[in-house]
Structures are given as C-alpha cells and as structure tokens.
Structure 1
C-alpha cells in the first residue's frame, strides 16, 4: 500500500513539475535574415522571435533577439547582440541595412512598435533606428552616438486625438515622422555624418 501511494505521489510531482513553470520554452524562429556582413568574414546576422503556441488562446508579445554568427579560430560562435522588447506595443523589424560612416562599416536596424492607446488618443507607430559597428575590441556593439541621434527615432500617427474616449484631445493630432524607410535614414546619415 505504501509503495502504491509513494509511486502515485512521484507521478503527481512529475506532472506538476512539467506543467508549472518548468515546461520547455517555445522554439525560436528566424524572422529576418540571415544576412552576410562585411564586418566579419564568413559572418552572418539574423533576428529571432519565440514562436507562439498555435493552440494558445491569447498570443503574447515576444521580444526579438539580434544574433551574430561568425567563425573565430576555426570555431563557429553565436553571440546575442541586442534584444528588442515590448514597449507600448510589440516590436517588429521594419528594415535591416548596411552602410559606411567615415570609412567605418555599420549595420542599421530599424524597429517599430505599434502604439494603440485609445484612452489617450494614440494610434500609430514608434520608430527607432539602431546603429551597430565593431568596437575597439572587435566586438559588434551599439554605437550610442548615432543610435541616440534624436532624428533616428520618432512617432507617426495620431497622438492625443479627440474622441469619445478622449474628449479633451486635439482635433489636429496627426504627427508625421520623416525617417521611416532605409532610404530616408541613409540620406540623413550621409548629410549629417559624412
């Protein structure tokens, strides 16, 4: 009798262990790339997002991971370069492009977040372009000077728009963002940083 109770208890613990917070994470899938990069011979970059469970009732907002794979000392290495998380909306990669600034090679990543907040009359997209290059140690990292340039982030859409939910909002509430394509950003970077 004690053996049956003990066996049942162990099986129950195994079921609880597998269903409460210890379940395997959903697999990640590549959503952009892979792209070859001149910054690393035989290197490539790509972006992944965790897959939602197709049977889930509510789909969740998953961050996007930016990875670099490269050969170093005859070994394949994988490094996580950045992570784009939920920020008022789910992140999406709008564009990935390459360029040179003052004879230095860069990777540019434009991320957008869909921002819908009816209570404050907001409905649009927030844009942010990140610039990455090799630092002094040869590591691919964020160039803070370029990435923090105020012109490389902005909002396009309705902001503080008047509605039944937001009666004190503005009638003229549409905001336009100037640099929402790779071509727009490249033109701006050429004018400012060359």
Structure 2
C-alpha cells in the first residue's frame, strides 16, 4: 500500500509538472493570426513564437465566454527538427463531415553528409472534442502521405505534393471524404 501511495504521489506531481510546462506555450509573440474559427464557438486561433528552445512555436485557441472574458488553450506545440518550425498555412476544411483546422508546418533540413536536405513538411489537423477543445485528428496525423520531404533523402530526389491548402484539400476530398 505504501508503494502504491508513493507511485500515486509521483504520478500526480508529474502531471502537475507537465501542466506547468504547457503554460510556457500559452505565452509569446503572435506571429500569425488571430483567425476566427467556427470549429469552436467564439474562438480565435493564433500562432505564437514562444521563445522556448525545444518548442519555439505553438498553436493556441482563445475562447471567449458569455461575459466576454477570453481563456487561452494550448492546441499544439511544434518542435525543432533540424531547424525551427515554420507555419506555412492555416485553413479550415471538413474531414468526414467534421470541421477541422489544418496547419501545414515545415522545417528546413540540411544533413548533406548523408545526402538529406530540403524542406520537411507535416500536415496537422484538429477537430473539436466533446469538451470544446481542439484535439489532434488521428486520421490525418497517421496518414503517411501528409508528411514528407521536398528535396533529397539520402541522395534520392523526393517531392512532397501537399505544400499548400488547395492540394491538401484536394487530397482529403479524394481520399478521406469519399462515401
């Protein structure tokens, strides 16, 4: 029993630590937005430059309550992957009849020693959860075609086809929104 209580205490402290760490990503300089969204009522999305070395960019949602007071929620944070992340595009599009917020993020990569260089792209999508928060759309996140390199990978030329909102929407419409 004593071991269980100790483990429970450690678990609770870790959760508090994680929650405190996430608050770092709710502050920063707005570099893109705010964008009004209908995915969550009375809300706006913004991209922040956080100043953090590991996760220098975050996506936040500001939701106004009935009194007009705004509460900020962390939607996601983007890490350094060879270089700092760059948000290329934010747009709204349904996935299987559910409103989603799409974010296209890129990173410049340069490992010429192994012949890998160019731009790495990743498409993210977020849908409203039952508690009114934006959560990651697993269908998009797990899709291997919505991530890739435009450049060279181990000396082999690579082309990533989904580098803008129009091409991503066309892919989702054709491959994920079909009946």
Q: TM-score, normalised by structure 2?
A: 0.77
Hey, what's the Cα distance between the residues in 1 that align with 2:29 and 2:106? 19
Question: Any stretches of 5+ residues in structure 1 without a counterpart?
Answer: 1-26, 53-59, 162-172
Give the root-mean-square deviation of aligned CA atoms: 1.9
Contact 2:55 2:78 in 1 (8 A): no
Hey, what's the Cα distance between the residues in 2 that align with 1:37 and 1:50? 22
Per-residue CA deviations over 1:99-158 (Å, capped at 9, x if unaligned) read 112321100000001101121112101110001011222221111122211111011102
1:128 is paired with a residue whose SS is strand
Per-residue CA deviations over 1:23-50 (Å, capped at 9, x if unaligned) read xxxx821111110001223210000113
Which one has a larger percent helix, Structure 1 or Structure 2? 2
Residues 1-194 of structure 1 correspond to what in structure 2 (within 5 A)? Answer: 28-50=28-50, 63-74=56-67, 75-161=69-155, 173-194=156-177
| Stretches of 4+ aligned residues off by more than 3 angstroms | none
Contact 2:42 2:65 in 1 (8 A): no
How many residues get paired? 150
Deviation at 1:62, TM superposition (A): 5.5
Q: TM-score, normalised by structure 1?
A: 0.71
Contact 2:117 2:152 in 1 (8 A): yes
